[in-house]
Amino acid sequence: MSEKDVLERVERARRRKPRLTDERITLSHGSGGKATHALVEALFVEAFRNPLLERLEDQALLHLKGATVAFTTDSFVVSPIFFPGGDIGDLAINGTVNDIAVSGATPLYLSAGFILEEGFPVDDLRRVVASMASAAERAGVEVVTGDTKVVQRGKADGCYINTAGIGVLERPVQLSAAGARPGDAVIVSGPIGDHGVTVMLARGQLDIESDVSSDTAALTPLVSLLLDAAPRTRCIRDATRGGVATVCNEIAQASDVGVVLDEQEVPVRAEVRGASEILGIDPLYVACEGRFVAVVSGEEAAPALEALRSHPLGEGARVVGRITAGPPGIVLLNTEFGGSRIVDMLVGDPLPRIC
């Protein structure tokens, strides 16, 4: 798809911008769902409007002196800060690396800003920083600048981390949520919902025991394998806040196409499905931190799957749906019982502060 086509689709999506009617910020505004999109598009995009921001991708692609640089930023307020499979430290590194990687760029350098609450144990901070260092080494990036602020006791929740990252786009690819076409395949790189359910259970508020652990991981090598095998890949998004359902809605709306998912093909671990049923939530909306949703050309779906499954992070990759001409902007789920239902963007925030 040409740059002109993408910009035209972005412009059409912009004309459908939501309205911000809330008078106060709620937890739902941080969920990644409808409230978040209304806040971002009706307030932040309106205030800072420019062509780079209007694309609403996970990163901005900047053309600097002959090079294309991917630039992103993220903040992490997960509670609790330590959970099975990870902690706020490696989450901060991996989350930022992944926002760069899904553009097709190679992540290189990160910043780290810490907001610490008075009384936060130094041993816990040392553990978080060590986790960040290990995650950065595994991801092949360096933390090269940062900042520290301390607020009074009771004015924060131990430790918050803000990161920014840059990488270089060396492939001739243009990945965008506005790039999907009818006939394309929708791929999920592995079982969904692990991270969100893990964090929820780690809070100890529910008497539920489970062996599930976070899937937090840097996705750079998996993205590289996918793009080598399927150079006509249209879009890659890591399925964090709002989960797979919200990513699919973003793609449907940005590309002005329909998305049809097959419930039987969506990979969900039995432990995650069971915990989700007890919690009353749909795994499609639960955040992942080591999974992505990719839209690839239908002809390249088979080699894409083969490539993903050759890597440990992609062993559970599945084709979960397809792109259709319509209904435009709508995600449908073909259920296991033979019916179908609309999968809307996340409303509310059933699992707050999971990243």
What is the model's pLDDT at position 194? 97
What is the distance between the alpha carbons of residues 180 and 255, in angstroms, rounded to a whole number? 6
pLDDT tens series, the chain, 355 aa? 555 565 565 555 545 667 888 899 999 999 888 899 999 999 999 999 999 999 999 999 999 989 999 999 999 999 999 999 999 999 999 999 999 999 999 999 999 999 999 999 999 999 999 999 999 999 999 999 999 999 999 999 999 999 999 999 999 999 999 999 999 999 999 999 999 999 999 998 777 777 899 999 999 999 999 999 999 999 999 999 999 999 999 999 999 999 999 999 999 999 999 999 988 899 999 999 999 999 999 999 999 999 999 999 999 999 999 999 989 999 999 998 889 999 998 888 888 899 9
The CATH-assigned architecture of domain 59-170 is: 2-Layer Sandwich (3.30)
Write out the two tokens for 324. 């259709």
Q: Is 313 helix (H, G, I), strand (E, B) or coil?
A: helix
b/e code 168-191 from CB counts within 10 Å (16+ = b): ebebebbbbbbbbbeebbbbbbbb
Write out the two tokens for 294. 């990719």
> What pLDDT digit, counting tens, does each position of 238-264 carry?
999 999 999 999 999 999 999 999 999
Contacts of 26 (CB under 8 A, 6+ apart): 35, 349
Contact between residue 350 and residue 276 where contact means Cβ atoms under 8 Å apart: no
What is the distance between the alpha carbons of residues 160 and 183, in angstroms, rounded to a whole number? 42
| Best CATH choice for the domain 177-342 from the list 3.90.650.10, 3.30.70.260, 3.30.565.10, 3.40.50.10800 | 3.90.650.10
DSSP for 107-150, please give it.
Answer: EEEEEEEEEEETT--HHHHHHHHHHHHHHHHHHT-EEEEEEEEE
Could you tell me the CA-to-CA distances from 36 to 29, 45, 59 in Å, in that order? 4, 12, 17
What is the model's pLDDT at position 285? 96
State pTM to two decimals: 0.93
b/e code 289-314 from CB counts within 10 Å (16+ = b): bbbbbbbbbeebbeebbebbbebebb
> What pLDDT digit, counting tens, does each position of 20-35 carry?
888 999 999 998 888 9
Would you put residue 85 in left (φ > 0), alpha (ψ -120 to 50) or beta? left
**HEC letters along 239-289:** CCCCHHHHHHHHHHHHHCCEEEEEHHHCCCCHHHHHHHHHHCCCHHHCCCC
Contact between residue 213 and residue 269 where contact means Cβ atoms under 8 Å apart: no
What is the distance between the alpha carbons of residues 57 and 103, in angstroms, rounded to a whole number? 9
What is the model's pLDDT at position 20? 87
Nearest CA to 258 among 335, 318, 181?
181
Nearest CA to 299 among 183, 179, 189, 186?
183
What ranges do the domains of the chain cover? 59-170, 177-342
Question: What is the helix (H) or strand (E) element at residue 200, kind and residue range?
Answer: helix 194-202
